[in-house]
Amino acid sequence: MIRPLILADLDDSLFQTRPKCGDWPDGDLKLMSRLVDGSPSGYATPPQQALLGWLEQGELVPVTARARAVLARVDIAQAPAICANGGCILMADGAPDPVWHARLAAEAQRGTAPAALYPALIAGLDEDAFRHWMVSEDGLDLYLVIKSNHGDVPALDALADTLRPRLPAGWRIHANGNNLAFLPPWLNKRAAVRYVLETVRRENPERLVIGIGDSWSDAGFLDLTDMAMIPTQAQLWQHIARGHDWID
């Protein structure tokens, strides 16, 4: 029997920050990720721990917005993996897929480069209220991130509305909690997953592919899988459930 392939978003799907863990006692939580200084940042609740145990029956492949260096601070399989919102695909040996990297590099040359957009996007930004940075992999600039220094999500949402007119055609904003990501047209998880699945479907067309994701943007790659799992407290599920006639 061929093991299922499980393409899983990480943050807010398989684990989350301590405040998002609700009333679970600290002793019941499993540490899953750390910040760059080594301090704890993400925990799995008992139900998530049970899910992780169940997922061991398949091959778990992270599909994450985390860059490679940030993924390295997660207690989970590191390769193969799809990192940086699809900007880097790690092969089974942990090396970046050179074909995918070359494809994205070529795409990046055809439009507005993230580095060229960066100054216009942060012009006038209140540095006391917001922090920002560029996500890059192997010398290729991929996307921009802005976060509130105070966890002020409404302020971040308002900032997204202000900055949207500054974006070139085709650029998208991914907003989820205290995170704004500004992505060029050629960068998304869906494209990277499609690329990976071309090989999977060719070599094992009968292999079950399961997707796990929490955010509105994750729908792009979940749509390519055979089955999808969504946490019921997640952004994506709330979009699905809002105003649903069968949910009271």
- 105-150 pLDDT, tens digit each: 999 999 899 999 999 999 999 999 999 999 999 999 999 999 999 9
The overall average pLDDT reported for the chain is: 96
Cα–Cα distance, 226 to 207 (Å, whole number): 9
Q: Is the pLDDT of residue 28 over 90?
A: yes
DSSP sequence for 40-103: EEEEE-HHHHHHHHHHTTSEEEEB-SS-HHHHTTBSS--SSEEEGGGTEEE-TTS-B-HHHHHH
CB 15 within 8 A of CB 32: yes
Nearest CA-CA partner of 116 in 78, 144, 88: 144
Q: Is 74 left (phi over 0), alpha (psi -120 to 50) or beta?
A: beta
Q: How confident is the model at residue 17 (pLDDT cuts 50, 70, 90)?
A: very high
pLDDT value of residue 1? 81
pLDDT value of residue 2? 92
Provide φ and ψ at 50, rounded to 5°.
Answer: -65, -40
Where are the extended beta strands (E) located within the chain? 5-8, 30-34, 40-44, 59-62, 81-83, 88-90, 130-137, 140-148, 172-175, 180-183, 209-212, 227-229
- 159-180 pLDDT, tens digit each: 999 999 999 999 999 998 899 9
Q: Is the pLDDT of residue 4 over 90?
A: yes
- 70-117 pLDDT, tens digit each: 999 999 999 999 999 999 999 999 999 999 999 999 999 998 999 999
Q: How confident is the model at residue 248 (pLDDT cuts 50, 70, 90)?
A: confident
Cα–Cα distance, 172 to 185 (Å, whole number): 7
Cα–Cα distance, 158 to 116 (Å, whole number): 23
CA angle 96-209-183, nearest 5°?
50
Mean pLDDT within 202-212:
97
Q: How confident is the model at residue 186 (pLDDT cuts 50, 70, 90)?
A: very high
Cα–Cα distance, 115 to 219 (Å, whole number): 27
Residues in CB range of 99: below 8 A, 6 or more apart:
none
Count CB-CB contacts under 10 A for residue 86. 28
- 41-60 pLDDT, tens digit each: 999 999 999 999 999 999 99
